[in-house]
């Protein structure tokens, strides 16, 4: 019997070697090719989109689904990598503390009301625990910092906690900056990356857009230190910063991919509340039309009384005799008072946009059209019976007009400013990519596809519809995990094309969308 025992180890070996083996396993080195690229030390530079920000906050599971993290996982299927580290938040509540005081909001979740209707609400199920006084020791492959504009990438002291209250430093960068004096670019270069991705420029237009264009288009102003937070960055400033960043990264010997700036006005933040949401029945439409005929009449009469040529007065007044129809009508917006528009309001054009944060309750009460008080109705009655209202009564009618405020709307000029800047940035990005032989991923084109028709996947079609479309999180600006997965696929495609690599893409259907919770207030 002893004689047989010596064969036992071979039997054990047989058990081990019995693991099933595929003829051509994908986990074998060489199944996928890295082509001319080297993904072993990938560093991602950018803003909130790069960080994995979603639902109005940064939180762990969002970061785990950041597009760079998804890409890094796919890179790891292609070649041996050093891993991909991220400055993970302390929890999934989102929200930052500064020495115990909350300075940014918790994430939003989709909550259902008692009537079963869903609405995004701020999650209150747990207290945020990420205090920026607790620094992390890096380095971190994901250098995405929410809120960063292009020129902030070069800003020294951007991670200095003492600059946070004044806005000269960024609380997210404070958490993981290697020193208070460093810049994002310096910390990225110091990692000696073999590969990098750069997505910058979104915030150079986005905050202007989300503020309803209340910021300043700084075209021509080459000193970003003088910019307000909601301003549009001058394209030459952008170009100069962008080239500096790319030169520094390429200088480390890294290959990389540059990503275009999406047209932010296609985001659900601007496409969810339609500008024609003034839905009227025939009776109300007729009475509104009558109201504005009265407005035009009162205006003409007043102008003539002030000595304006009657023909001119009638001509100016005509713009206020706005006709309303049964069904959807476009809202009115406030515009600056001018010689051609002395009352300072007009109806929106088809292209103009309302922001997601507009008070929709107020819209239902006449914000964006007319607030018809009983007193106003009384004056209208006087007019209808051929009477002449007093000057005071006439003023009451004009004052009832309630145009949408500038902060809630992107008007034609503001849209033009955004488009001009975005196009200029993208021209720069494309030419810098070409000049340096880097891959170019057209994020802007992807957003266009999502916003017009959507992107098909194995479980349906992903669109930009707010809450239900699947691409965008509950802040209306940042993608969901599924949206980020689509970005990762786009970037992987661009990399594969440029570098001859064959990194596999992910199935976006396996990535989630919005998170449900009724732990809200």
Partner 1 sequence: MKKLLLLTVFALATAVTYAGGYRVSLQGQRALAMGHTGVAVVNSAELGFFNPSGLVYLENKLNISVGGFGVFSDVVYQNEQTGDFERTNSPVGTPLYLYASYKITDWLTAGLSIYTPYGSSVDWEDDWAGSHLVNNIELAAIYVQPLVSVKLSPYFSVGGGPIYVTGNVNFNRNLNRTLSDIEGNRSEVTAEASGVSNWGWSASAMFTPTEDLRVGFNYRSEIILKAEGGDANFENIPNSPATPFADTEFSAELPMPAELTVGLSYQFQKKWLFAFDYNMTFWSVYESLDLDFVDPSIPDSKNARMYEDSSVYRFGLQYDATDMFTLRAGYYFDESPVQEGYFAPETPRNDSNNFTAGLSIDVNKHFAIDASFLYSRFKEVDASYDYYSENGQAVPFSGTYKTSAFIPGLGITYKL
* Minimum CB distance to partner 1, residue 485 (Å): 11
User: What does the alpha-carbon distance between residue 252 and residue 179 come to, in Å, rounded to a whole number?
Assistant: 21
Helices (H), 268-334: 268-271, 282-305, 310-318
Question: Per rule CB under 8 A, is residue 392 in the interface with partner 1?
Answer: no
Question: Could you tell me how many residues make up the chain?
Answer: 521
C-alpha pair distances (Å), 353 with each of 35, 55, 122, 300: 44, 22, 25, 30
Least Å distance, CB 76 to partner 1, is 9
The residue within the footprint of partner 1, chosen from 281, 283, 392, 458 (CB under 8 A), is 458
Residues numbered 41-80 forming contacts with partner 1, rule: CB under 8 A: 60-61, 64, 74, 77
The least distance separating partner 1 from the CB of residue 65, rounded to whole angstroms, comes to 8
Site for partner 1 in 82-101 (CB under 8 A): 92
Under 8 Å between Cβ of 159 and 179: yes
- Contacts with partner 1: how many residues (CB under 8 A)? 48
Asked if 8 is part of the footprint of partner 1 (rule: CB under 8 A), the reply reads no
Which one of 8, 22, 29, 350 is in contact with partner 1 (CB under 8 A)? 22
Q: Residues of 148-164 as b/e, b for ≥16 C-beta within 10 angstroms?
A: bbbbbbbbeebbbbebb
Q: Rule CB under 8 A: is residue 118 a binding residue for partner 1? A: yes
Q: Which span sits near partner 1 by CB under 8 A: 10-18, 166-174, 206-214, 236-244?
A: 10-18
Strand-pair partners of 352: none
Whether residue 484 contacts residue 259, with contact meaning beta carbons closer than 8 Å, is answered with no
Of the listed pieces 116-124, 191-199, 395-403, 419-427, which binds partner 1 according to CB under 8 A? Answer: 116-124
Of 11-19, 186-194, 203-211, 279-287, the window that binds partner 1 (rule: CB under 8 A) is 11-19
Nearer to partner 1, 15 or 166 (CB): 15
Nearest-5° angle of CA 162, CA 165, CA 169?
60
Query: Which of residues 125 and 228 has its CB atom nearest to partner 1 in the complex?
Result: 125
Whole-number Å distance between alpha carbons of 123 and 54: 13
HSE-up of residue 483 (Cα within 13 Å, Cβ side)? 36
Compare residues 328 and 460 and give the one whose CB is closer to partner 1: 460
- Residue from 3, 8, 9, 25 touching partner 1 (CB under 8 A): that is 25
d(CA 45, CA 266): 23
In SS3 terms, 13-46 reads as HHHHCCCCCCCCCCCCCCCCCCCCCCCCCEEEEE
- List residues near partner 1 by CB under 8 A: 11, 14-15, 18-23, 25-27, 32, 60-61, 64, 74, 77, 92, 109-112, 116-118, 123, 125, 458-460, 468, 481-482, 504-507, 509-513, 515-519
């Amino acid at each position: 019997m002893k004689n047989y025992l010596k064969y036992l180890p071979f039997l054990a070996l047989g058990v081990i070697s019995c693991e099933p083996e595929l003829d051509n396993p994908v986990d074998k080195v060489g199944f996928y090719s890295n082509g001319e690229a080297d993904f072993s030390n990938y560093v991602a530079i950018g803003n909130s989109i790069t960080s994995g920000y979603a639902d109005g906050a940064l939180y762990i599971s969002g970061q785990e689904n950041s597009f760079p993290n998804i890409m890094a996982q796919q890179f790891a299927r292609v070649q041996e990598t050093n891993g991909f580290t991220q400055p993970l938040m302390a929890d999934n509540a989102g929200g930052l503390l500064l020495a115990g005081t909350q300075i940014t909001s918790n994430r939003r979740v989709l909550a259902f009301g008692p009537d079963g209707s869903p609405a995004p609400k701020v999650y209150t199920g747990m207290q945020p625990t990420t205090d920026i006084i607790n620094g992390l020791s890096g380095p971190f492959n994901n250098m995405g910092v929410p809120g960063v504009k292009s020129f902030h990438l070069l800003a020294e002291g951007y991670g200095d906690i003492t600059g946070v209250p004044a806005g000269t430093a960024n609380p997210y960068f404070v958490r993981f900056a290697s020193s208070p004096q460093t810049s994002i670019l310096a910390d990225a270069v110091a990692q000696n990356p073999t590969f990098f991705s750069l997505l910058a420029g979104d915030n150079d237009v986005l905050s202007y857009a989300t503020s309803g264009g209340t910021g300043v288009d700084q075209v021509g102003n080459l000193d970003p230190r003088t910019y307000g937070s909601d301003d549009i960055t001058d394209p030459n400033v952008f170009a100069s910063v962008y080239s500096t960043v790319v030169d520094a990264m390429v200088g480390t010997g890294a290959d990389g991919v540059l990503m275009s700036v999406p047209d932010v006005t296609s985001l659900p933040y601007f496409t969810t509340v339609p500008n024609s949401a003034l839905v009227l029945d025939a009776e109300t439409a007729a009475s509104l039309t009558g109201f504005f005929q009265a407005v035009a009449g009162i205006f003409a009469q007043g102008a003539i009384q002030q000595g304006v040529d009657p023909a001119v007065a009638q001509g100016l007044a005509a713009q206020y005799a706005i006709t309303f129809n049964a069904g959807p009508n476009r809202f009115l917006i406030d515009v600056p008072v001018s010689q051609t528009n002395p009352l300072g309001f007009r109806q929106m054009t088809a292209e103009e946009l309302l922001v997601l944060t507009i008070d929709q309750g107020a819209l239902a009460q006449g914000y964006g059209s007319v607030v018809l008080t009983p007193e106003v109705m009384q004056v209208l009655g006087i007019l209808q019976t051929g009477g002449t209202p007093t000057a005071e009564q006439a003023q009451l009618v004009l004052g009832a007009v309630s145009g949408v405020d500038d902060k809630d709307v992107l008007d034609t000029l503001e849209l033009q400013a955004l488009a001009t800047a975005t196009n200029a940035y993208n021209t720069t990005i494309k030419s810098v990519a070409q000049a340096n032989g880097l891959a170019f991923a057209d994020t802007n084109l992807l957003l266009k596809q999502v916003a017009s028709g959507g992107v098909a996947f194995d479980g349906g079609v992903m669109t930009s519809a707010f809450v239900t479309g699947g691409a965008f999180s509950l802040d209306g600006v940042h993608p969901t995990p599924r949206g980020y997965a689509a970005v990762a696929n786009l970037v992987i495609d661009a990399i594969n094309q440029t570098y001859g690599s064959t990194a596999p893409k992910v199935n976006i259907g396996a990535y989630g969308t919005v998170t449900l919770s009724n732990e809200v207030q």
